[in-house]
A and B are shown apart, each in its own frame.
Chain A
Amino acid sequence: MTELTASPSPGPDGGPTAPGAPAVPEPGSGSAALLRAEGLTKHFKIGNTLSQRTLHAVDDVDLAVGERQIVALAGESGSGKSTIARLLAQIYRPTSGHIYFEGKPLSSIRSRADRLRYSGLVPMVFQDPFASINPVFRVSHGVQRSLKLHRPDLSKQQRQDEMLRVFDVVGLAPAADVIQRYPHELSGGQRQRVGFAQALATRPKLILADEPVSMLDVSIRIGLLNLMAELRDAAGVSILYITHDLASARYVADRLVIMYAAQIAESGPIEEVLAHPKHPYTQLLLSAVPDPRAPLGVSAETDRGEPPKVIDPTPGCRFRGRCPLAMETCQTVTPVLNPVAAGHEVACHVAQSGAEVEAF
């Protein structure tokens, strides 16, 4: 296995790297996938013993993340994005389905040591930079702990050097000064960088970033998006970037996966999907992105729906209640993902019929 060595500091000002996609092979099209999920499903039992019902948080999701690739997982609140991240991080056990990391099934991980190794290779960064760092310790604490746990071979001095290095990589300069501070002495953006530093300390191959910029000021988001692009380009880290904002997804990601009501609605190379969105829901998400340069779409007036909680679902397209194009078939037959162009898949009866989709 090749060890990851993050390149030294990309410059303390965190200057922008072109976010453009590097040439990478399509994942899922062979052996290139670093992580692959097949038929990933997570159900929760809800209600009491008298009326037990099943909430479908994730249903039959196939997903692949390639080496040096940022995959954006996008959808409204409640669509199942965080549950996918938790399944991939082994925080949840899937109801069914399989996850393969570097070709090996996660279900084969039995020992504590292997589990620890996996959590170091595939760490998570959370939405709330305030909740994910312990407020009573200096920011060095979390990174130190990670290093001791995941890389016990390091000497005290090596640990210190490594800590300075990761703080440097995430643009927290001067690192020697920042590590001494307490979380409340940092801004939201800086705290989120600490989250990434902590993730980097374990020499990850794939970072599961669950809405890492959603709670930050717009002006701070760009810096973190640039950081993610830099981690991919310079350090070769892959990222699953969870977001509800397609504009930020487009800025950093190579591939886009659109979730709706626990299922994948559409996926493919990001520019292809955004230039030719085939699923009405993708079109809805796209129309909702505030864009001062575009006229206000009519769509905005018509959509008042909310994503459903998927409880004991019946067959049929889960988007049909909000979809202006829904046909007879959509009421009764659940659409499955099918290719419409190279690497571009969509789960919509209308799109698959070859008809022009202009829903929003």
Chain B
Amino acid sequence: MSSRAVELTSQSGPPARPGAILDVRDLSVEYLLDSGIVAAVDRVSFSLGAGEFVAIVGESGCGKSTLLFAIAQLLSPPAEITGGSVLFQGRNLVGLTDSQLTAIRWKDLSVVMQSAMNALNPVKSIGAQFKDAMRAHGVNSREEIAARSAEVLRMVGIDPLHLHSYPHQLSGGMRQRSMIAMALLFTPKLVIMDEPTSALDVVAQRSLMVQIKELQQQFGFAVIFVTHDMSLVSHFSDHLMVMYAGQVAELGPTQQLFDSPAHPYTAGLMEAFPSIRGPRRPLKGIPGSPPDLARPPHGCRFAPRCPKVMDRCRAEPPGLYNVDGTQVRCVLYEGGAGRGSAS
């Protein structure tokens, strides 16, 4: 692809921060299909300090789950990491063997999937699933397993009596909470969550968010939190990464992105949810849908939907520009324009 060579010369994200627990660098993932290559994650870079909370937002199909799976080394064919590194506590996870990864997963890094209903085993009690996870990591003492299982359930606000419950006997909110409890069995340094609240109603969603934040502050683990609902994370994340079509569109401190969205896509996402306060006004959302990543548009991938599009946007892919301490992939910022030029 000719567009690729041009783009490769652009900056590749923020520099690694000293003391970062996770440093993702130029990470690329492709699905190698008979019909062609789907470039689902394209040179994504970001880093995360111990105890920090980063939210990744974007519409369905923008590569969020693929990125998470790549970070946790959970991809399977036809997906393949085609470039980049994932430094976790100083060690590159890309290329580690399964047994090396098993030692890290759960203990240092755990993953909470989108649907607990799919991730939990329907024919095993919650307690039995916790036991399996602990045994797999060499904890065999019955007392220790029982004590820790009850402890983590209590941590997420569930009565330990429910260790005897089966997933279908719990409400959606309780299932998600038990998934999170399971992820905390070994006090990990990093918890990766893929839309853990998307299947819940607003009240359960809010209560789970507050719970996650409290646990995070109490135990000091870092969080990567994926959601399609940007409004959800405003009060919870330190950093926000907006993903579009497999790439970082904008990355920076959460408050800054909300206060003055720089990328037209971020501005569009901000305009996509109605407010409970202020005047009722019509919203347009973002017309169209994200591109097919087997054939991404030439130039800026957002150009076909962008209200600010210019001729040169279609000519070549914009780089990722440093703007007031944030990263923005949009030609509007090429000449050093400040944030807010999108609105």
Whether A288 is near chain B, meaning CB under 8 Å from some CB there, is yes
When A247-B273, A289-B276 are in contact, do A300 and B157 touch as well, CB less than 8 Å?
A: no
Residues of A within 8 A of B173 (CB): 306
Residues of A within 8 A of B285 (CB): 219-223, 226
- Cβ contact within 8 Å between A76 and B210: no
Binding site for B on A (CB under 8 A): 13, 15-20, 76-78, 187-189, 217-223, 225-226, 244-248, 250-251, 271, 274, 284-296, 300-301, 303-304, 306
- Cβ contact within 8 Å between B276 and A291: yes
- Cβ contact within 8 Å between A219 and B272: yes
- Cβ contact within 8 Å between A306 and B280: no
A and B contact pairs by CB, cutoff 8 A, 13 listed:
A217-B60, A222-B272, A226-B282, A244-B201, A247-B274, A250-B280, A289-B276, A290-B231, A292-B258, A300-B209, A300-B210, A306-B171, A306-B173
Residues of A within 8 A of B60 (CB): 188, 217
Whether B1 is near chain A, meaning CB under 8 Å from some CB there, is no
Could you say which of B202, B209, B210, B228 contacts A217, with CB atoms under 8 Å apart?
B228
When A187-B289, A306-B173 are in contact, do A219 and B282 touch as well, CB less than 8 Å?
A: no
Residues of B within 8 A of A250 (CB): 274, 276, 280
**Cβ distance B194 to chain A, nearest Cβ, rounded Å:** 14
Whether B277 is near chain A, meaning CB under 8 Å from some CB there, is yes
**Cβ distance B99 to chain A, nearest Cβ, rounded Å:** 38
Most chain B CB within a 10 A radius of its CB, from A18, A218, A285: A218
**Cβ distance B313 to chain A, nearest Cβ, rounded Å:** 20
- Cβ contact within 8 Å between A291 and B286: no
Could you say which of B229, B272, B282 contacts A19, with CB atoms under 8 Å apart?
B282
**Cβ distance B335 to chain A, nearest Cβ, rounded Å:** 29
| B265 nearest CB neighbor, chain A only | A219
Residues of B within 8 A of A221 (CB): 272-273, 285
B269-283 Cβ-contact flags toward A at 8 Å (1 or 0)? 110111111101111
Counting chain B residues whose Cβ lies within 8 A of the other chain, the interface size class is: 35 or more
What are the 10 closest A-B residue pairs judged by CB atoms, nearest first? A222-B285, A292-B234, A244-B201, A251-B274, A16-B282, A288-B206, A290-B231, A219-B272, A296-B235, A288-B203
Residues of A within 8 A of B142 (CB): none
CA distance A183 to B234 in the complex (A): 35
With A219-B286, A293-B277, A300-B209 already in contact, 20 other A-B pairs whose C-beta atoms are closer than 8 Å: A78-B171, A187-B289, A189-B289, A217-B59, A217-B60, A218-B229, A218-B272, A220-B289, A222-B285, A225-B274, A226-B282, A226-B285, A247-B276, A250-B274, A285-B202, A286-B276, A292-B235, A292-B258, A296-B235, A300-B206
Most chain A CB within a 10 A radius of its CB, from B172, B234, B269: B234
- Cβ contact within 8 Å between B172 and A247: no
**Cβ distance A174 to chain B, nearest Cβ, rounded Å:** 15
When A219-B228, A223-B285 are in contact, do A288 and B171 touch as well, CB less than 8 Å?
A: no
Residues of B within 8 A of A285 (CB): 202-203
CA distance A244 to B209 in the complex (A): 17
Number of A-B contacts (CB under 8 A): 125
Residues of A within 8 A of B232 (CB): 290
- Cβ contact within 8 Å between B284 and A288: no
| B269 nearest CB neighbor, chain A only | A219
| A291 nearest CB neighbor, chain B only | B276
- Cβ contact within 8 Å between B204 and A218: no
**Cβ distance A43 to chain B, nearest Cβ, rounded Å:** 21
Could you say which of A13, A296, A304 contacts B287, with CB atoms under 8 Å apart?
A13
- Cβ contact within 8 Å between B234 and A290: yes
- Cβ contact within 8 Å between A293 and B275: yes
| A322 nearest CB neighbor, chain B only | B203
- Cβ contact within 8 Å between A291 and B228: no
- Cβ contact within 8 Å between A218 and B273: yes
Residues of A within 8 A of B332 (CB): none
Whether B230 is near chain A, meaning CB under 8 Å from some CB there, is yes
**Cβ distance A259 to chain B, nearest Cβ, rounded Å:** 12
Whether B217 is near chain A, meaning CB under 8 Å from some CB there, is no
When A16-B283, A285-B202, A288-B203 are in contact, do A246 and B276 touch as well, CB less than 8 Å?
A: yes
Cβ < 8 Å to A, chain B residues 202-255: 202-207, 209-210, 228-232, 234-235
- Cβ contact within 8 Å between B207 and A219: no
B284-324 Cβ-contact flags toward A at 8 Å (1 or 0)? 11110100000000000000000000000000000000000
- Cβ contact within 8 Å between A76 and B204: yes
- Cβ contact within 8 Å between A303 and B274: no
Residues of B within 8 A of A77 (CB): 171-172, 200-201, 204
- Cβ contact within 8 Å between B205 and A288: yes
Most chain B CB within a 10 A radius of its CB, from A16, A19, A78, A251: A251
Residues of B within 8 A of A296 (CB): 235
- Cβ contact within 8 Å between A304 and B202: no
- Cβ contact within 8 Å between A19 and B171: no
Residues of A within 8 A of B287 (CB): 13
Most chain A CB within a 10 A radius of its CB, from B60, B228, B281, B285: B285
Residues of A within 8 A of B157 (CB): 304
Whether B63 is near chain A, meaning CB under 8 Å from some CB there, is no
Residues of A within 8 A of B206 (CB): 287-288, 290, 300
Cβ < 8 Å to A, chain B residues 150-180: 157, 171-174
Residues of A within 8 A of B270 (CB): 292
| A245 nearest CB neighbor, chain B only | B202
| B205 nearest CB neighbor, chain A only | A288
Residues of B within 8 A of A223 (CB): 285
- Cβ contact within 8 Å between B207 and A300: yes
Whether B268 is near chain A, meaning CB under 8 Å from some CB there, is yes
- Cβ contact within 8 Å between A294 and B280: no
CA distance A207 to B171 in the complex (A): 29
